[in-house]
Amino acid sequence: MAAYAAASAFLSSRHPERLAEFQLAMDILRTREDFQVQHLWGFLPQELLEEIRRISRSLSHEEIELHEAASFGRWVLHDHPRLTEVQTGLTSFVSELAGEPLEPSYNFLSLYSRLGRCPIHMDAPQAKYTLDVCIQQSQPWDIHLSQIVPWPEAGIEGGSWDDTIRNDPELSFKSYALKPGDAILFSGSSQWHYRDPIPSPARDEFCDLLFFHYIPLGTGKLVNPAQWPEIFCLPELAELPEIRRHSCQAITRWQ
C-alpha cells in the first residue's frame, strides 16, 4: 500500500498523464464488494491431512523459519515442494470459488505455539485470496474477518489503529472456527483479519495451519512493486524508497 501511494503521488506530480493508466492497471488486484467468504467443512481428505501432519513433524531445525516467533508466536515453512504441488492442484477449484481465474502465489505452514497470536492486519496483494486450512490444534481458535474494504486506500495512520479497526461497526467482523481438515477462503488483501492470543496458554496449546495464497492469473509481476518500473516503462519509479525497498527484499531472499 505504501508503494502504491508513493507511486501514485509521484505520477500525479511528474507524469499526471500516466496516473489513470497506473490506477486502472491495479483494478485487477481489488476484490469485488460482493465476494463472499467460503467456509469449507471437512475440506481435506483424511489421507492428505495425515500426510501434511507427517511433513510438519519431520521438519528439521534448518528448514523452520524463526523470524515470526516473537511477533506471532509461530514457526513457519514456505513453499514446501509437496505443499506447492497440492496448492497447484487446487487452483481450478479455488478459482471457481473466487469467481475469477487464479494462479498460485505462495504457501506456508504456520505452526503456532501456546504463545500464538495473529495481530490485526491486511495482506499485500500477493495474498489476494487466502485458503486457510486447519491441520491440527489443541482447541478451536477463531479467525475474525471484516467485510471487503477498498484496496489500496484502506490505510490507517498512527494511534491505536488496532482498536479503531476492531471496534468499527461498519467493518462487520465475523468469526469463524475451523476444525482439523476444515478450510476457509477469504481475501487476505481486502479483509482485515486477526486471531486473538490462544486463550489458554498451557504448555501443550498449539495450532497448525496451512495457508495457500492465490493471485489473479497473469499478475505475477504486477503484485511486486519492484517490477513496476519495467511494467510501466518508468525507470524513475525505481528510485522511490518505498519501491526500492521491495527490490532490496528480493535480493536478500535470493542471497
What tens digit of pLDDT does each residue of 190-202 get? 999 999 988 776 6
C-alpha span between 222 and 214 (Å, rounded): 13
What is residue 248's predicted lDDT score, i.e. its pLDDT?
54
Nearest to 11 by CA among 244, 254, 240: 240
What is residue 73's predicted lDDT score, i.e. its pLDDT?
78
Q: Pull the grid cell for residue 229.
A: 518500473
How confident is residue 254, by pLDDT bands cut at 50, 70 and 90?
very low
Examine the pLDDT at 204 and tell me if it is beyond 50.
yes
Nearest to 37 by CA among 193, 246, 219: 193
Helix, strand, coil distribution of the chain in percent, nearest 5: 40, 20, 40
What is residue 186's predicted lDDT score, i.e. its pLDDT?
98
What is residue 160's predicted lDDT score, i.e. its pLDDT?
65
Per-residue pLDDT tens for 61-90? 888 888 877 888 788 999 999 999 999 999
Q: Is the peptide bond before 197 cis (omega within 30 degrees of 0)?
A: no
What is residue 255's predicted lDDT score, i.e. its pLDDT?
31
H or E element that contains 75: strand 74-78
Residue type, 189: S
What angle (nearest 5°) sits at the alpha carbon of residue 114, between those of residues 112 and 118? Answer: 50
CB 32 within 8 A of CB 150: no
CA distances from 112 to 74, 138, 201, 203 (A): 4, 11, 12, 12
Rounded to the nearest integer, the mean pLDDT of the chain is 89
Instruction: Give the chain's count of helices (H) and strands (E).
Output: 9, 10
Angle between helix axes 46-57 and 81-89 (nearest 10 degrees) is 150
What is residue 198's predicted lDDT score, i.e. its pLDDT?
86
Per-residue pLDDT tens for 90-142? 999 999 999 999 999 999 999 988 887 888 989 999 999 999 999 999 999 99
CA distances from 68 to 34, 73, 76, 117, 158 (A): 33, 7, 8, 11, 23
What predicted TM-score, i.e. pTM, was given to this entire model? 0.91
Any idea how long the chain is? Answer: 255
